[in-house]
Amino acid sequence: MKRVITYGTFDLLHYGHINLLKRAKALGDYLIVALSTDEFNALKNKKCYFSYEKRKALLEAIRYVDLVIAETSWEQKRSDMHQFCISTFVMGDDWKGKFDFLEEEGVEVVYLPRTPEISTTRIKEDLELLKNKE
């Protein structure tokens, strides 16, 4: 079985996220999503609209996702490759080159193009503009 893993925050889930998950799943038989916990997001200075538990429930409802695990640190990626017998590590191409070191663990590293017209950051910015117009 070819196992694929991707990592992310997946806040304000949108069709760009779904596109990424669909393309990641197409690279193997089993897709694991490592979801950043609220505590890990705080370390990254990120604030989510939805809690970890709600984001996890949303991801678990997506047919492309087979398993959701907690991402609690940057360092766990190396051990996850072995613990979950990963064949392919997938991230959006905005991270290109940042995780090539995982090839040393015998894992194929793939950077997929992002869906250009959508992002959580853009949604938050658009909502802020709407709020300020009121």
Rounded mean pLDDT of 100-113?
96
Per-residue pLDDT at 131 exceeds 90: no
Q: Is 51 left (phi over 0), alpha (psi -120 to 50) or beta?
A: beta
At 55-74, the pLDDT tens digits run 999 999 999 999 999 999 99
Per mean pLDDT, which range of 48-52, 113-117, 126-130 is the poorest?
126-130
Indicate the pTM of the whole model.
0.90
Contacts of 19 (CB under 8 A, 6+ apart): 115
Structural tokens at position 67: 């398993």
pLDDT of the residue at 79: 96
Annotated active-site residue 133? The verdict is: no
Annotated active-site residue 131? The verdict is: no
Which of 46 and 28 is assigned the larger pLDDT?
28
Rounded mean pLDDT of 31-53?
95
The DSSP secondary-structure symbol of 84 reads T
Binned at pLDDT 50, 70 and 90, residue 89 comes out as very high
**Catalytic residue among 2, 22, 25, 44, which?**
44
Q: How far is residue 94's CA from residue 99's CA, in Å, rounded to a whole number?
A: 11
**Catalytic residue among 2, 46, 47, 98, which?**
46
